[in-house]
Structure formats: C-alpha cells, structure tokens
Amino acid sequence: MSHITSWREAFLNLLLHKARSTLAILGIVFGVASVICMLSVSEVARRDAVSRIERMGLKNIILDSVKPSKIRQKEENQGGEESSGVAQYGLTREDVKLLAATLPVIEKILPIRMVWKEVFGGLKKTEVGVLATTSDYPAVMEHAVRHGRFLAPLDEIHAQPVCVLGHDAAQTLFPLADPLDRFVTIGGAPFRVVGVMMRKGQSGSGEDFANPDQSAFIPLATSFARFGAYQVRNSDDTFEGTKLEVNRAVLQMADTSILGPTAQAARNLMEKRHRQKDVQVTIPFHLLAEHQRTERIFLWVMGSLAAVSLLVGGIGIMNIMLANIAERRSEVGLRRALGATRGDILRLFLAESTLLCTLGGLLGLAVGVGLALGVGNLAGWAVAFKPIAFPLGLGVAVLAGLVFGTLPARQAARQDPVLALRSE
C-alpha cells in the first residue's frame, strides 16, 4: 500500500510543478528520442545493405569487369571528342569457359553482358535496357519467371532472336496487351517475347548494375551474333567504342564454406590471363560479415552518443531535483516530524525522479517514432524500427531517473530535520 501511495504522491507532486517537470524531462525526452531515431535509421541502413548484399546471392562469387585505370587516364587526358579509340578490357567468353573448366567446385557460372542497344516498343523508344545472359539466370539470381519461360539452352545454341522481359519493362512495352509471342525491336532487330519475369524490386538504390526489372533478357550468343563483340555507345556529342564481352560472371557454389579459396583461385586465374587489372572479385557473403562489423562499430558510436545525451538529460534531472529539494526543505522536516523515516524521504524523491524520467522516456519514444517517420517520409525511406530500441530507450530513461535521483534524494533523507524546521 505504501508503494502505491509513494507513486501517487510523486505523481501529484510532479503535477504541482508542471512547468518545472516539463523542462526537467526535456533532456530525457530528446535523449530517448535520439536513441529511437538513430536506431531506426541504422536499421533502415542495415536492411538496405543486407538486402542489397543478399540480392547478389550469398552462395555466389561475383567477377566484375572494371575499366582499368590506364584506359580511364588516357581518356581523361585526351578529353571528349578524341576518345574515339576502342578500349578493350574485361572478362571474355573464353574466361567464362575456362573458369567453368578449371574450378569444378562451381555449381553454375552465369555470364551477364550489358548490351548498349535501344529497345523500341512499336515506334516508341523506351528506357528499357538489354542484358544478355544464359538459361541459368533465374536459378543463380533467384529471380523467377512469372509468365511464359526464360531463355532456354537451345536459344543459346542457336542464337535465337528471343527475349524475356523484366516486370517493369513488360509494363512499359506492353501496357495493355499480353506480351507473350509479340515482338520488340532491339538494336533494329525483332525479338520475340517468350516470357515475363516476376518483380525483383531493387528499391531505387543507386545500383552498380542494370535494374533487372527494367531490362529485356536476350541469349548471350544472340548478342554476339547480332551485334558483335564491339559495342558503340552514343551519348550526346561523345561516342565510345568498347570491346567488352562479359560485364559480370556470377559463380554459384553449393555452399558458403569454400567461397574464399574458390574466389582466390578465380582471382589467380584472371591475373594470369589479364595483364591489366580489369576484373574485380567480390564475395557478397564476406561483404555481409564486413557489414556486420561496421554495423557493430556504428552501434557503439550510436550507443555512446545516446549515453551522452542521456547523461546530459540525467544531469538536468539531478539539477531539478536538487532545486526541488532545497525548496521543499521544510516540507521534508515536517514529514520527518510526522513520522517519516529517512527511507521514506529517500523513496519520496526517488519516486519523483523515476516517474519524471519514465514519463520523459515514454514521451521520448513517441517523439522518436514521430521523428523517424517524419525523416523517413522526407527521405522517401521505408521506416523500420529495431524492436529492442523501445525497451532499451525506456529502460535507460528509468535507470537515469534512479541513478541521477539518488544523490538528491539521499541528500534530502540525510538532512537534519531540526535545522529544516527552524523558523527563520
């Protein structure tokens, strides 16, 4: 019973000093709000990073063709118009064959080529891109067909003029009709649509590779048969000629245990075959581990920041409680005269500071959620919250109330009641 009385009394006392109580908890409110907000932002960043990494496939090793620095430098020195020389770099079809032959631990190897050809739906030019690849694409990239079929091995063997449309590409090219067995014009040649993909959803993040939803997939062999190994890209007043056979090769493993050695073997093989450093090997699984490490550091930094802001909030509480106690000195003396023990006085003020911080914490949760939603709205994120953030934020606030309330409360409990009751 005496506990209920303590809390009730504490609550009433806080109500008696509304303005002061409100000011006192501002620090706690913003401390907790920043904890919630920061944890939310970090959660959004984490989910984004993890899904981006996972989309690359955790059982995969990714070999990317990169423009070697020598070529890039030459281009910069010569400047715009004269950069008409043909640059040759990157993975070749031969590399892909050799990798498959020398690394038997690889389950599948998937070459992907970005084809710089325009796609027309009827007479209208579209933003749809072209990816040349093989029949393993759906399995390796975990991207299923929704309608029709994907490119078949026979399409590759016979270099068939067929294509499969990404979800958004299908919508762009055939907003009303069923695209199956219709034709689209790629680089001036007609391609028959044999399938439409499910939506993959790359959520707008600046991808380093073409968005599969906005692409048309054609057989790799067809891309060479129709458009050749050399490609020319016209953009406004510059044009760029490149011999780049394969932009990306995705090696899929049976499991994650031999990713490291296999990647090293692939790297060695590529170094032997390519004088210039034009192939980059990435292991998404390792990126994930690396990401988790940075995330831990990030959380520590966030945690320290939150601790500092709660410390500031706690000191604010302590300050207010000290003022409160100084003002209510004679009340403390009176309560002692009425039979309050030192413990009663301690509990009286601890209940007040703890209640104050709990209210501050609850308010902070609300403000934090609001802030995160607001920021997410402005930045166009899907806001996410770490569930642990809520008990954590509230718990720390309550703890701050206890810790920073103890010193003032003890001071009040220890003061000499006679001195407090003397009439001045």
Partner 1 sequence: MPPSLIEVESIRKEYPMPGGAVQALRSVTLAFEAGELVSIVGASGSGKSTLLYLLGLLVTPTEGVYRYGGREVQALSDAERSRLRGRQIGFIFQSFHLVPQLSVLQNVLLSARYAGNGNGKTGGRARELLERVGLAKRLTHRPAELSSGEMQRTAIARALLMDPQVILADEPTGNLDEKTGAEVIALLEEFHQEGKTVIIVTHNLKLAERTRRKITIANGEVAS
Ligand X SMILES: Nc1ncnc2c1ncn2[C@@H]1O[C@H](COP(=O)(O)OP(=O)(O)O)[C@@H](O)[C@H]1O
The terminus-to-terminus CA distance of the chain in angstroms comes to 36
In the complex with partner 1, the residue whose CB is nearer, 118 or 331, is 331
User: Binding partner of residue 335 among ligand X, partner 1, none, CB under 5 to 8 Å per kind?
Assistant: partner 1
In the complex with ligand X, the residue whose CB is nearer, 236 or 424, is 424
**Least distance from ligand X to the Cβ atom of residue 329, Å:** 13
Alpha-carbon span 110 to 60, nearest angstrom: 10
**Least distance from partner 1 to the Cβ atom of residue 318, Å:** 22
* Number of chain positions touching ligand X (CB under 6 A): 3
DSSP result, 242-280: EE-SBSEEEEEESSSTTHHHHHHHHHHHHHHH-SS--EE
In the complex with partner 1, the residue whose CB is nearer, 21 or 160, is 21
**Least distance from ligand X to the Cβ atom of residue 416, Å:** 5
Label residue 81 exposed, middle or buried (CB < 10 Å: 0-12, 13-18, 19+): exposed
| Identity at 381, one-letter amino acid code | W
- Interface positions, 196-255, toward ligand X (CB under 6 A): none
Contacts of 71 (CB under 8 A, 6+ apart): 87, 89, 276
In the complex with ligand X, the residue whose CB is nearer, 86 or 418, is 418
In the complex with partner 1, the residue whose CB is nearer, 343 or 380, is 343
Contact (Cβ atoms closer than 8 angstroms) between residue 418 and residue 81:
no
User: Binding partner of residue 334 among partner 1, ligand X, none, CB under 5 to 8 Å per kind?
Assistant: partner 1
**Least distance from partner 1 to the Cβ atom of residue 408, Å:** 19
Question: Residue with the closest Cβ to ligand X?
Answer: 419
**Least distance from ligand X to the Cβ atom of residue 422, Å:** 7
**Least distance from partner 1 to the Cβ atom of residue 1, Å:** 9
User: Binding partner of residue 423 among ligand X, partner 1, none, CB under 5 to 8 Å per kind?
Assistant: partner 1
Q: Which token pair is 133?
A: 């690849």
Alpha-carbon span 105 to 384, nearest angstrom: 39
**Least distance from partner 1 to the Cβ atom of residue 364, Å:** 27
Positive or negative, the CA dihedral 250, 252, 256, 262 is negative
In the complex with ligand X, the residue whose CB is nearer, 218 or 345, is 345
- Interface positions, 381-420, toward ligand X (CB under 6 A): 416, 418-419
Burial 25-64, CB ≥16 within 10 A → b, else e = bebbbbbbbbbbbbbbbbbbebeebeebbebbbbbbbbbb
Residue that is written with structure tokens 């920073």 in the block:
404
Binding site for partner 1 (CB under 8 A): 5, 9, 13, 16, 330-331, 333-344, 417-418, 421-424
Sequence-ordered strand ranges (E) for 122-237: 124-125, 129-133, 145-148, 162-165, 183-186, 189-197, 215-219, 230-235
User: Binding partner of residue 417 among ligand X, partner 1, none, CB under 5 to 8 Å per kind?
Assistant: partner 1
Phi and psi (nearest 5°) for 241? -110, 135
Contact (Cβ atoms closer than 8 angstroms) between residue 147 and residue 193:
no
**Least distance from partner 1 to the Cβ atom of residue 351, Å:** 13
In the complex with partner 1, the residue whose CB is nearer, 143 or 336, is 336
In the complex with partner 1, the residue whose CB is nearer, 154 or 418, is 418
Q: Which residues bind ligand X (CB under 6 A)?
A: 416, 418-419
